Structure 1
Amino acid sequence: MTSDAEVWKLQQEIPSDPSIGSGLIQPLLEAMTQFEWEDLDLFRVQLAYEEAITNAIRHGNQLSADKTVQVGMHVDGERLEIEIVDQGPGFDLSKVPDPRDEDRLECPGGRGVLLIHSVMNQVHYSDRGNKVRMIKIKGQRCKADDA
């Protein structure tokens, strides 16, 4: 079991501003580096985080200045978890079209959810669809490794 002294945490409420959302990743990457995570894991976590925070701000909150996003992150030497909650209406994951379908190959956008699932070890959405929890386990393979 890891003690609190061996865990890096961040819990923050941010406005629906993509530049502020993107700025939160750097401290997490620095913490991962301190815990000796591999560069590939840093890259994958940054990619998943950027996709998820963009989805929350742009699609969930519709860039609304009167809505916020809750961001929670923690990492230690073995496990990382990111939770992002927006104030939007949510979405139904089963209704998100597969961007690999022939008629969607040239459509811009729509690849974020697939990408997140490919690079993280676990991804969970709330029933409402306005909260995502992403987990990365140090040294554990993910779907992107099988591609």
Structure 2
Amino acid sequence: MTQLAQFDVWIPNDTAEARDVQERIIGLMEQNAWPMRDCFGVRLSLEEALVNAIKHGNRMDPDKKVYIACELTEDEVIVVIEDQGDGFKIEEVPDPTEDNNLEKPGGRGIMLIRSFMTGVGYNDKGNRLTMSKKLGVVNKDETD
């Protein structure tokens, strides 16, 4: 497994800054001939995860920052996103596909991330997400 790129950065709690890092990661994938389908799924997952960190984790506080680390190998991209918020309990997030939750906000971004990424995990505090995508692996949820 050859490492092609690696970086980490702290950004202001700002969606425009987050978008720049998102595009940097997708650009690295495209430069290394990752399939469009994989790039699409990672882009969408990054957007959801970064917005969650900024809006829900850091609660739009301009004094807080978001940490992003990325490692790209020839067959996997791994991204860590950490906010400076209080965290959350993943098991307390309602399942947005249950009938009583269909019209409630919340949980859809996490569901989307899980459907496109091959690995998704949170630290115990709930303020750091580690997600990974294996090259060319199509999740079951992507084909439904």
TM-score above 0.5: yes
TM-score by length of 1: 0.92
The aligned residue for residue 9 of structure 1 is 6
Compute the RMSD of aligned alpha carbons: 1.3
Identify which of 20, 31, 40 aligns with 2:17: 20
**Number of residues of Structure 1 aligned to a counterpart in Structure 2:** 144
TM-score by length of 2: 0.94
Identify which of 100, 104, 107 aligns with 1:103: 100
Between the aligned partners of 1:31 and 1:46, the Cα distance in structure 2 is 12
In the alignment, is the contact (CA less than 8 A) between 1:36 and 1:77 conserved in 2?
no
Distance change (3 Å), C-alpha of 1:68 and 1:117: same
Stretches of structure 2 lacking an aligned partner (at least 5 in a row): none
Between the aligned partners of 2:143 and 2:43, the Cα distance in structure 1 is 20
Aligned structure 1 segments of 4 or more residues deviating by more than 4 angstroms: none
Q: Offset at 1:30? A: 1.4
Q: Offset at 1:49? A: 0.5
The aligned residue for residue 127 of structure 1 is 124
Q: Offset at 1:114? A: 0.7
* Partner secondary structure for residue 69 of structure 1: strand
Stretches of structure 1 lacking an aligned partner (at least 5 in a row): none
Identify which of 89, 109, 114 aligns with 1:92: 89
The aligned residue for residue 29 of structure 2 is 32
1:71 is the counterpart of 2:68: yes
Alpha-carbon displacement from aligned partner over 1:103-125 (angstroms, at most 9, x marks no partner): 22123443001111111000010
Matched to 2:35, the amino acid is E
